[in-house]
Structure 1
Amino acid sequence: MNITIKNFSELNIYELYDILQIRSEVFVVEQDCVYQDIDGKDQKALHIIGEKEGKIIAYTRCFAPGDYFENASIGRVVVEISQRKFKYGHDIMKASIEAIKNKYQTNTIKLSAQVYLTNFYESHGFKQVGEGYLEDGIPHIAMLKK
């Protein structure tokens, strides 16, 4: 998988379409969750894109401190279902953490994790903080990496 990092203004319309498509496939269709994915925050985000054979198969969006949470943050972590067996989620997370370190000069990162993925995020140095909560009807927990 090849990983590229782009600001919103650097995305072409085909990349943006493919990003929105993979997010919709996983978060809306696969997880059977109706929610507003297009939330007006993509314009501020740093987009971490994983491609294989010209197709976007993994993605995250990252934010500078203060743009989403008080700390830098990673969200919309997604890997196409047919590609999960290759562990690309770990690759895209490592790239996202490095991108935040390089772009925003911080090691403190927050994310809102689906509870069933806490072990995955813990393997990248995140720790659970606070109590669990429902976000769009799905159990979540805040996690922080310092």
Structure 2
Amino acid sequence: MSAHRAYEVDVRRLDELSAVELYELLKLRVDVFVVEQACAYPELDGNDADCLHLRLIDGGALIACARLWRPTPDRLPRIGRVAVSPTHRGKRLGDALMRDAISACETVYPGEAIEISAQSHLQRFYGSFGFTPISEEYLEDGIPHVDMVRRV
């Protein structure tokens, strides 16, 4: 873990997380995506083992996270499951989380563009980091989304 601002940035594979760290990560994602957004969908989708997991930690507490997909022959690196703890909102942690996620992707997958599947109402937010829409709006688990890419 490296110190970054008032929090630590930790990027690890799933099998490098302790049981407690994994529980905290999954709890945050379920609290945000399933409970807060009232969206019943398969949060445990079988993809976590193939991704890197970026966590922002403050004083030992998980305050934000993102999932970083590795590139495949058919897909660019991708940032997903971007979540900030409800108790830490209003501190611009979403901005920090995206900057750290982009930086991690650029370090691990240099020279690659980065994709995201963004909730449509967050297009402007992701656009502020250089992402541009590459698809029409579509429904994912009942929520409007749009695919976006950040070119190199």
Could you tell me the TM-score, scaled by structure 2's length?
0.91
Structural mapping, 1:64-75, within 5 Å: 64-66=70-72, 70-75=75-80
1:115 maps to which residue? Answer: 120
When the two chains are superposed, the root-mean-square deviation of aligned CA atoms in Å is: 1.2
- Give the counterpart letter for 1:7 in structure 2: R
1:125 maps to which residue? Answer: 130
**If each structure's helix is expressed as a fraction of its own residues, which one has the higher value?**
1
Deviations 1:54-111 (A, max 9, x none): 11110001011118x6111000000012212001111111111111111112340001
2:149 maps to which residue? Answer: 144
1:13 maps to which residue? Answer: 19
Equivalent pair of 1:61/1:77 in contact (CA under 8 Å):
yes
Equivalent pair of 2:76/2:112 in contact (CA under 8 Å):
no
Q: CA deviation at 1:22?
A: 0.3
- Classify 1:112/1:139 alpha carbon distance in 2 versus 1 (closer, same or farther; 3 Å): same
1:82 maps to which residue? Answer: 87
Equivalent pair of 1:126/1:143 in contact (CA under 8 Å):
yes
How far apart are the structure 2 equivalents of 1:89 and 1:46?
A: 18
Counterpart check, 1:100 vs 2:101: no
- Give the counterpart letter for 1:57 in structure 2: I
Deviations 1:101-133 (A, max 9, x none): 111123400010001111110011100112000
2:41 maps to which residue? Answer: 35
- Give the counterpart letter for 1:44 in structure 2: D
Q: How many residues align?
A: 145
Deviations 1:28-57 (A, max 9, x none): 010000000001110011110011121111
Indicate the percent of aligned positions where both proteins have the same amino acid.
Answer: 39
How far apart are the structure 2 equivalents of 1:11 and 1:120?
A: 30
**What 5-or-longer segments of structure 1 have no aligned partner?**
none
- Give the counterpart letter for 1:138 in structure 2: I
- Give the counterpart letter for 1:33 in structure 2: C
For the residue of structure 2 that corresponds to 1:131, the secondary structure is coil
How far apart are the structure 1 equivalents of 2:24 and 2:87?
A: 16
